[in-house]
Structure 1
Amino acid sequence: MVQELHDRLRGQVREKLGRDTEPTAGVIDSQSVKADAVIGSDGRGFDGGKLINGRKRHVVVDTLGLLLGVMVTAADTGDRTAAHILLEQVTDARHRLALIWADGGYTGSLVEHCLDAFALVLAIVKRSDDMRGFVVLPERWIVERFFAHLMRTRRLVRDFERCTASAEAVIYWSVILLMRRRPARSRPAQA
């Protein structure tokens, strides 16, 4: 139910901003967050890359930074493994989606799988060799900004939910609140 409310509101926000209600391009990424003590060992994992014991949020956002799909897993779940399921869910619901940008963690057979199974181009955006430090690439800053918005919601700084469905619902509610504020800011100022 919360996802349906979210999807309707996202369509309205896209229309107010002069876009079609359904996007044709998006960005996929994941974020590891620490899990609270109430989460049992069956719902948490250790992300060796980020050194975080908790959960991982896999999201697909459109080019405006609006959420298209979310899946919460244990932090030890690989990005490619979760992307198989999440991209299937997103493409089933969004028939116009044709292009997804991703980072190097989504390489391999997933690129061919997306093209064959979903008629979806998964474009891997890589850093050039001369870049040093943390650099957000132009195609991927949208999803990084989305994660920053999530972290401004106090309840999402750490995962407190016992089940992953509840964790996903909290993310949808946070994004709904964000979208409710967005149209108000996009209006021109009156003199």
Structure 2
Amino acid sequence: MGEQLESLQESQDVLVSAIAQSMVIYGVTPSVGRIYGVLYFSDEPLTLDDIKDQVAMSKGSVSNGIRELMDTEMVTKVWKKGERKDHFIAEKDFLKNFLDFFAKMIRLERSLLTKAIDQTEPTIKEIANNPESNQAEDIAKRDLELISEAKDYLNWIMQLANCLESRDIFKHLPINSEKE
């Protein structure tokens, strides 16, 4: 391999490591981040074996990582003519990945909190309306106030998720392209 090609490979390795480390911030393991990084820099779809060789992980770990990346739509399975094995490509648009990931996480958070509120609010209201003690009444009323504030938050994050998915976010935060 020529000196320039070696330098380019080293640069890619640094960038793949940075991508893997940055994905940790979003709750993705470094190994899954490396899988994404390898696919990101690949010019063609790769098989599990191709990826396994490049990230030095077991085929099972690579398969699990690919599944996780497919769930977040950062990786897609593609058909390659004349091949039996599955091939995978990375979504290379970081902005799309970011918007889709956060919209999905916001909806997940909203779902978890809404279920908890739906499960507990009737009990808390009942206690607030028919308290056995002043202390129970005070706590129940405080909790209902907190739930009300949580509902405001949940409504706001739902608007945010909708804004991310519809891409209306760019009306408020335009992309400033600084291409040289």
TM-score, reference length from structure 1: 0.28
Larger Rg: 2
Q: Counting strand residues as a fraction of each chain, which structure ranks higher?
A: 1
Q: Counting helix residues as a fraction of each chain, which structure ranks higher?
A: 2
TM-score, reference length from structure 2: 0.29
